């Protein structure tokens, strides 16, 4: 009886498991990403714009789709055998997808990438057990040191290896023909009129377009390309012009050759976007739509806005947001990185000084009396006085600090030397320190910061300066 009860309970338990929505492994979560309406960024457009948010894939990018497909096809064709090594040149996202497949299926991974890719991408690949080889960016594709060439060489040298070759492997575009295109068609009830994609290998734009144009040949496909890539000119002229190629910062898109996954007859428009505009737009997508996306998403949305005059009221636009912003926290989402490249118009210490006009710094000497300091504060209407000795700050006095000392001591301190009531020196920063950083340095106890200009003169920014700057 006892044994029968155990058997009965087991049957109930297993039947419940069968009825649950449980994935067998992480690969089964790839695809079926949501469409999310864009509202603020597209408010001046006459039509509806929907974002296909691909960072909902487990590897946080659209590349999961084609990575799994390339592995599956290679297995079916016998090019990838048990215990084998997957080799690929990648900007990071394809490697992530391949690494996930390798973990589940039991393969090794060796990836080559370029030195312009974010450190976050490289670290993530290593976290999944992959070996990563960093190669120079500014070399020709056929150069033996390029990440393309190194991957090809390793595939020849390492036994039982499979070179995925996302650029020419047609399983790349097949993945999007089988998944991305049908999802968009189903999610829009067949009403999609435009597909907008930032392009690199050509797999996403071609594969998705192939499916959608089979359903409706009138659907417009717009490909977005960074300056420095030759794809736009190739689309327009059929010419592979290496004079078009120059280094660019955008990651994962654009090419210095034409990958085999492209079939340009499925693309209606190619539009180029600058590195700066793409980076700024990526940050806007995050701040205005709450979608924390990468560089290529910025390119796609910016390109769409550049072509807004081609849109009509009844259009339904789907724009691909390719990957997650976490891959770019050290670049696009880093104020200092953006400022160094002239991408970010951020108010700095220098801007605050320039905005309030030429005002000399009012300072005190340690041998002056507190009474004399009070007179200076009243005369020049300031609350914070740096105390200088031989031209360099040794401390400070403030109206609030002096008042607190008078109240606690219960005595008149006007006759005391400033040296006797000295407060801590104000922090010294560089002239290009962003306003946001200044606001963290100025506290109740510390009412100002100093910076030295190119002539060696000190300037002061107080909490009131920061408040005024933030409000302007």
Tell me which residues are annotated as active site.
63
CB 455 within 8 A of CB 353: no
Both structure tokens of 214 = 């089979």
Rounded distance between C-alpha atoms, residue 86 and residue 107, angstroms: 7
Q: How many CB atoms sit inside 10 A of residue 264's CB?
A: 17
Question: What is the distance between the alpha carbons of residues 316 and 195, in angstroms, rounded to a whole number?
Answer: 9
Which residues have C-beta within 8 Å of that of residue 318, sequence separation ≥ 6?
Answer: 35, 49, 50, 51, 52, 184, 188, 192, 194, 195, 196
Write the CA distances from 99 to 93, 120, 247, 465, integer angstroms. Answer: 10, 15, 28, 51
171 neighbors 259 (Cβ within 8 angstroms): no
Query: Could you give the CA distance from residue 371 to residue 386 in angstroms, rounded to a whole number?
Result: 16
Which residue in this structure is represented by tokens 């600090």?
401
Residue burial 331-341, b: 16+ Cβ < 10 Å; e: rest:
bbbeeebbeee
Distance (Å, rounded) from C-alpha 217 to C-alpha 432?
53
In angstroms, the Cα distances linking 46 to 282, 308, 317 are: 22, 8, 11
- Which residues contact residue 428 at a Cβ distance below 8 angstroms, ignoring those fewer than 6 apart? 393, 449, 450, 451, 452
3-state secondary structure labels for all residues of 188-226: CCCCCCEEEEECCCCHHHHHHHHHHHHHCCCCEEEEEEE
Pairing outcome for strands 108-114 and 85-89: parallel
Tokens of 268: 């209606």
* H-helix or E-strand spanning residue 387: strand 384-389
Is residue 227 a contact partner of residue 256, using CB atoms and an 8 Å limit?
no
Max CA distance (Å), the chain:
99
């Amino acid at each position: 009886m006892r044994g029968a009860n155990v058997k009965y309970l087991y049957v109930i338990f297993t039947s419940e498991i069968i009825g649950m929505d449980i994935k067998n492994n992480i690969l089964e979560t790839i695809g079926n990403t949501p469409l999310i309406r864009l509202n603020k960024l597209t408010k001046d457009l006459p039509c509806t714009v929907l974002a296909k948010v691909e960072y909902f894939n487990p590897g946080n990018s659209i590349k999961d789709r084609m990575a799994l497909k390339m592995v599956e096809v290679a297995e079916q064709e016998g090019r990838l055998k048990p215990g084998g090594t997957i080799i690929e040149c990648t900007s990071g996202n394809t490697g992530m997808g391949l690494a996930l497949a390798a973990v589940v299926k039991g393969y090794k991974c060796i990836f080559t990438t370029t030195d312009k890719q974010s450190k976050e991408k490289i670290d993530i690949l290593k976290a999944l057990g992959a070996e990563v080889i960093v190669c120079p960016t500014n070399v020709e594709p056929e150069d033996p040191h390029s990440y393309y060439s190194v991957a090809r060489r390793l595939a020849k040298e390492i036994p039982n290896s499979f070179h995925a070759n996302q650029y020419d492997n047609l399983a790349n575009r097949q993945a999007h023909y089988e998944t991305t295109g049908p999802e968009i068609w189903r999610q829009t009830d067949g009403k999609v009129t435009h597909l907008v994609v930032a392009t690199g290998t050509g797999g996403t734009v071609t594969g998705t377009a192939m499916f959608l144009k089979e359903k409706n040949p009138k659907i417009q496909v717009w490909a977005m390309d960074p300056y420095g890539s030759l794809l736009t000119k190739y689309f327009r002229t059929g010419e592979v012009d290496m004079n078009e190629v120059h280094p660019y910062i955008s990651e994962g898109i654009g090419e210095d050759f034409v990958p085999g996954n492209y079939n340009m007859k499925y693309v209606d428009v190619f539009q180029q976007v600058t590195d700066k505009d793409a980076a700024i737009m990526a940050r806007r997508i995050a701040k205005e739509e709450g979608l924390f996306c990468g560089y290529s998403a910025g390119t796609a949305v910016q390109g769409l806005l550049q072509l807004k005059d081609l849109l009509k009221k009844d259009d339904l636009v789907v724009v691909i947001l390719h990957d997650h912003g976490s891959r770019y926290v050290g670049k696009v989402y880093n104020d200092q990185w953006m400022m160094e490249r002239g991408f970010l118009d951020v108010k700095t210490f220098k801007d605050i000084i320039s905005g309030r006009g030429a005002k000399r710094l009012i300072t005190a000497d340690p041998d002056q009396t507190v009474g004399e300091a009070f007179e200076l504060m009243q005369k020049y209407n300031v609350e914070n006085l740096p105390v200088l000795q031989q031209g360099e700050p040794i401390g400070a006095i403030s109206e609030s600090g002096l008042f607190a000392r008078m109240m606690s001591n219960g005595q008149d301190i006007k006759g005391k030397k400033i040296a006797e009531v000295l407060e801590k020196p104000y922090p010294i920063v560089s002239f290009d320190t962003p306003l946001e950083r200044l606001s963290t340095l100025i506290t109740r106890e510390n009412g100002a910061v100093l910076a030295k200009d190119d002539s060696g003169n000190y300037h002061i920014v107080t909490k009131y300066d920061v408040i005024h700057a933030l409000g302007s």
